Chains A and B, each alone.
Chain A
Amino acid sequence: MKSNDMKATRDGFGEALVELGKTDRQVVVLTADLGESLKVTDFAKQFPDRFIQVGVAEQNMAGIAAGLAAEGFIPFITSFAVFNPGRNWEQIRASICYANLNVKIIGGHSGLSNGPDGATHQGLEDIALARVLPNMTVLVPADYNQARAATLAAAENKGPIYIRLTREKTPVFCHRDIPFRIGKAEILKEGTDVTIVACGPLVYEAIKAAEALQNGYNGLNGLNGYKDKLRASSHFDHSSHSNHFSSPLSAEVINVSTIKPLDVQTIVKSARKTGRVVTVEEHQITGGLGGAVAEVLSEFCPVPIKRVGMKDCFGESGEAGELLERYEMTAENIFKSVLEVVK
């Protein structure tokens, strides 16, 4: 699972769009003047007759897409996640989802990946906004390859589909040639002591944490900088854990790249096996992956759960990596949450 290849999920989306442009005349791409940010400019150059610039008007973009879809096109509407599905949520609700129209909603620069722009531009609520809508499918690709595959799958599957993309280059670790299976979560690493359910590029952090946990508490040594932070942390009692977890911990890692419909079977089956769950997402811990997993576990398999993500607060300016540390979403934080949930 080690990866030295770094690419952004938005680039995987852009590549897939060009592939779709060549084979599918129904695909049209709309931008609200964020073409370069969402990587739709290659499509625009190659297929100018199927590229629509709507200006800074996300609500209108959603409505236009409804009209295009009603006539048989497959519109991809693209902007930052805070605006799409943030700004135009009600248009997506009434004009697209209620009519169950074949529109693909692409939210870019999600999570903390839009770091320096600050809290106004960091989409940390989009999964919740999209997930609550009837008829909507919600996809969160974990890397470049999966973003490409998810985009191809979205064009093939009828109905409104939200795809969440990120700005930063992150490790490429999924196989390029595996088709995206909507509704199917993938067990990336099997384990018996705890289940780590993750989505988006943080899946890679979850894998790093799981590998470190194989060395028990000593695994912390492999996670750079963690020990220093650990000492500084008043929330973490070093001594109480050191004896317990000197032995290896076997963590199962599940990549939930479809948030809706959620692969309840895979998640519940794993939770039954391990008895403990940690969710990981670059999103508010309410309403997103953590919320969705908590909903199904409380109904089908109540087990201790710990949610890693944005803790009901807004972000701030900073580099994406710095912000992931500040808001506790790194491999180290996942490691720590596992120790807390297996207490």
Chain B
Amino acid sequence: MTLEELQDKANEIRQDVIKMLVSAGSGHSAGSLGMADVFTAVYFGGKLNLDPKNPWDENRDRIILSNGHICPVWYAALAHAGYFPKEELLTFRKINSRLQGHPHFRSAPGIENTSGPLGQGVSTAVGVAMAVRKKQEMVKNGYNGLNGQKEKNLYSHSNHSSHSLVHLPRVICFTSDAELQEGQTWEAAMFASKNNLDHLTFITDRNHIQIGGFTEEIMPLEPLAEKLGAFGFHVLSINGHNFQEISNALDFDLSIHRKPVWIMANTIPGKGVAFMENMPNWHGIPPMEKGQAVEALAELNRLRTLGEGFPGIYEK
């Protein structure tokens, strides 16, 4: 996709996010809208090894969402990419749906992990990163993957899956910024660094808000890049709404060896809907008041760029 096509796709995804939230009557607007560009870049940017027709292929890159509350954007991106029908998006948060209010491990194609309780997906991601590296080592040592000795296949979710890894998959894990207030996140960070998981990349939605207000007011995170650097990460700070920057970061990531990478994606929470942008009160609610959804959907037809309203320095 060209940059313009990516922008259009992100806008379609945002519109579906709004529709899902309104249909559900609950859910998290701000982060879902804010991360639409990054999710679009990941699923449509051509940088990763993903095949919606073969979602559990052993050689796929693993995409893990740790801040599970922004799953509307994950589900919408997956549906647009062809992992499951787009019609299913409106079942989000409803009974009998595969699209749970917070992600449930392999409930639908592409949903790699359970998340929502913050910090847990970060640990899962380092576990997956360890696992794929160990499996690849086994292949190098002459075993046919995990099945080499006993012919067991514990998770044969697809009949088409390759039996063993031919290359080392990348593991991408999305997190929120307030998720870095969880101690578990830093436990996992230490582990990733100790084990030189250079095929592992965290992408944090640095939108400076959380459910109760601004991150720097509730529990200051800065200087975040320095902290993560001290924990052994190569840290990249990007404009999370600039497809060229996102794409470059995913490329540059590959040149970092023996260190995991942490991409700080600076985003505008509620991106694309003016009355939501940079407002913490939109963290955990949908646009349910009269006219809000219509206004939001109309606005999303306008492309916006990260201007001077950068949320790094909030003002009262």
Q: Is the CB of A60 within 8 A of B191?
A: yes
A91 touches B134 (CB 8 A): no
Q: Is the CB of A64 within 8 A of B138?
A: no
User: A63–B131 contact, CB under 8 A?
Assistant: no
Residues of B within 8 A of A68 (CB): 127-128, 130-131
A302 contacts chain B at the CB level, 8 A cutoff: no
- Please, which residue of chain B has its CB at the minimum distance from the CB of A98? B114
**Chain A stretch 40-78: residues in CB contact (< 8 A) with chain B:** 49-50, 52, 54-55, 57, 59-60, 62-75
Bitwise interface map of B from 119 to 156 toward A, beta carbon under 8 Å scored 1, else 0: 11111111111111011011000010010111011110
A37 within 8 A of B: no
CB < 8 Å neighbour of A67 from B106, B128, B143, B150: B128
List the A side residues contacting B134 at CB < 8 Å. Answer: 28, 49-50, 73
A 218-258 to B, binary, CB cutoff 8 A, 1 in contact else 0: 00000000000000000000000000000000000000000
| Contact residues on B (Cβ < 8 Å of other chain), bracket | 35 or more
**Smallest CB gap from A95: residue in B:** B120
Q: Which of B112, B116, B117, B138 has the most CB of A within 10 A?
A: B117
Tell me if A99 is interfacial: C-beta within 8 Å of chain B: yes
Complex formed: what's the CA distance from A326 to B77 in Å? 61
Task: Work out how many contacts link A and B, with CB atoms closer than 8 A.
Answer: 133
**Bound form: Cα–Cα A58–B151 in Å:** 31
Residues of chain B within 8 A of A59, CB atoms compared: 119, 123, 183-184, 187
Contacts of B152 in A (CB 8 A): 26
B149 and A67: CB pair below 8 A? no
Question: A190 on the interface (CB 8 Å rule)?
Answer: no
Residues of B within 8 A of A297 (CB): none
Name the CB-closest residue of A to B146.
Answer: A72
User: Per-residue 0/1 for A198-213: is the Cβ within 8 Å of any B Cβ (1 yes, 0 no)?
Assistant: 0000000000000000
CB <8 Å contact, B130 and A52 = yes
Distance of A102 Cα from B127 Cα, bound (Å): 13
Tell me the bound Cα distance from A101 to B121 in angstroms. Answer: 14
Q: Are B105 and A25 in contact (CB under 8 A)?
A: no
Q: Given the known A-B contacts A25-B150, A67-B126, A91-B184, are A73 and B131 also in contact in the complex, defined by CB atoms under 8 Å?
A: yes
Judge if A176 is at the interface, Cβ distance under 8 Å.
no
Residues of B within 8 A of A74 (CB): 154
Task: Check B114–A94 contact: CB distance below 8 A.
Answer: yes
Per-residue CB contact flags for chain A residues 274-294 toward chain B (1 = under 8 Å, else 0) read 000000000000000000000
Q: Is the CB of A67 within 8 A of B127?
A: yes
- For B117, list chain A residues within 8 Å (CB): 90-91, 94-95
Contacts of B123 in A (CB 8 A): 59-60, 62-64, 66-67, 91, 95
**Would you give the shortest CB distance from B221 to chain A, in whole angstroms?**
19
Q: How far is the CA of A158 from the CA of B187 in the complex (A)?
A: 28
Contacts known (A63-B124, A66-B124); A71 close to B135, Cβ less than 8 A: yes
Chain A residues near B41: list those with CB within 8 A. Answer: none
- Minimal Cβ-Cβ distance residue in A for B147: A72
Q: How far is the CA of A322 from the CA of B183 in the complex (A)?
A: 38
Report the bound CA distance from A137 to B111 in whole Å. 25
Contacts A25-B150, A91-B120 supplied; 8 other A-B pairs, CB < 8 Å: A63-B127, A66-B114, A67-B125, A69-B127, A94-B120, A98-B105, A98-B114, A158-B154
User: Could you tell me which A residues sit within 8 Å of B by CB distance?
Assistant: 23-26, 28, 49-50, 52, 54-55, 57, 59-60, 62-75, 90-91, 94-95, 98-102, 158
Of all A-B residue pairs in the complex, the 10 with the closest CB atoms, nearest first, are A67-B127, A63-B123, A99-B105, A71-B131, A60-B187, A64-B127, A57-B187, A67-B128, A67-B124, A59-B184
